[in-house]
Amino acid sequence: MTRRIIWSLCALPVNWEDSGNPAACEEPVFELVFLGTSASAPSVQRGLSSALVMVNEHRFMIDCGEGTQRQLLRTGLGFRRLDKILLTHGHLDHILGLGGLASTLGRWEALEELNIFGGGMALARVQMLMDVVFGPGQTPNSGVTLNLMEAGLLFEDKQFTLTAVPVQHRGPDCFAFLFEEKERRPFLPEVAEALGIPHGPVRRDLALGIPATLPDGRVVQPEEVLGEPQRGARLFFAGDVSHTGPLHKVAEGADLLAVEATYLDADKQLAKQHGHITATAAARLARNAGVRQLVLHHVSRRYTTQQVLEEAQAIFPDTIVASDLDSFAVRKDKPVTARNLRQR
């Protein structure tokens, strides 16, 4: 059984961090971890497609290729709070890990709830996997819920929104995902000083939009000490795509754009034939959309990482090619920082 649901709870270079010092930088708005970065089939260095976006207490897994749960364990992140999985599309290299993951969560990790979101074709295939794991007709009793995903708002809380964006690949119901921090109004300390507002809880309340009463009895409204709204951080994650034209507007100004680079430009006819794009096309998308950082993934075994990197950087210098277990921290108007979470 599937259901449509919206959850509601109310150009800078990458800086590489020492993975042994996770406190080296402030808490990110969004953290993107690549669990698998290979196209179609695994290689010695790269697993099949999967990523994890973490924000506050939430975890969103994007795709779940074969071997994903072992990659998750290698990061040290484990299964805690993993209750939302987003599927870009239903091809097997993006979903075959779901059977094993659901089995582990259900039999060993005291699974309470696992929501899988996808298009119709993807969920039909996932249902077959769940029937193997839990038995025909038993999925509703397992804690797993299959949610039919449509373009538009998918999740919202007080600090960010998640939007499903339709993309073209091969077949229907393919998606990318836009994570956006909500607009903020900055606190203006110079105005607070001029109004004689003391430091401490009063300023904290005003920054949170709560009126405050001063010791002398004056009531200060938040509008008096808050600036104009400013756009928050934006992370745009695209998996397999065949056309970048429709993505320029939604990717515009993203602090990080993650997108496939399955082929090099020399093989652009193969890319067209199989519904993918080249590193050149990905770099042009990043340049034309004015993003801060481009991260390429879904890399074919036919090329070296350096080949893919050089082709993209010739057009958009602020490009890197993700490796398995690379983690990227995204904050508004600050450099993207990266580290590798490999522990085993």
Query: Domains, the chain, ranges and CATH?
Result: 2-183+233-340 (3.60.15.10), 189-224 (no CATH)
Q: Which of 114, 118, 152, 158 is nearest to 133 (CA)?
A: 114
pTM reported for the whole predicted model: 0.85
Active-site residue identified among 83, 93, 240, 318: 93
Mean pLDDT by 10 residues, the chain (344 residues): 42 45 52 97 96 96 97 93 96 96 84 92 97 93 94 95 96 95 91 93 91 93 91 96 95 97 97 96 98 97 97 98 97 91 75
Active-site annotation holds for 324:
no
Dist. CA 324–CA 48, nearest whole Å: 9
According to the model, what pLDDT value does residue 9 have? 37
pLDDT score at 127: 97
What per-residue confidence (pLDDT) applies to 15? 58
How confident is the model at residue 277, as a pLDDT?
97
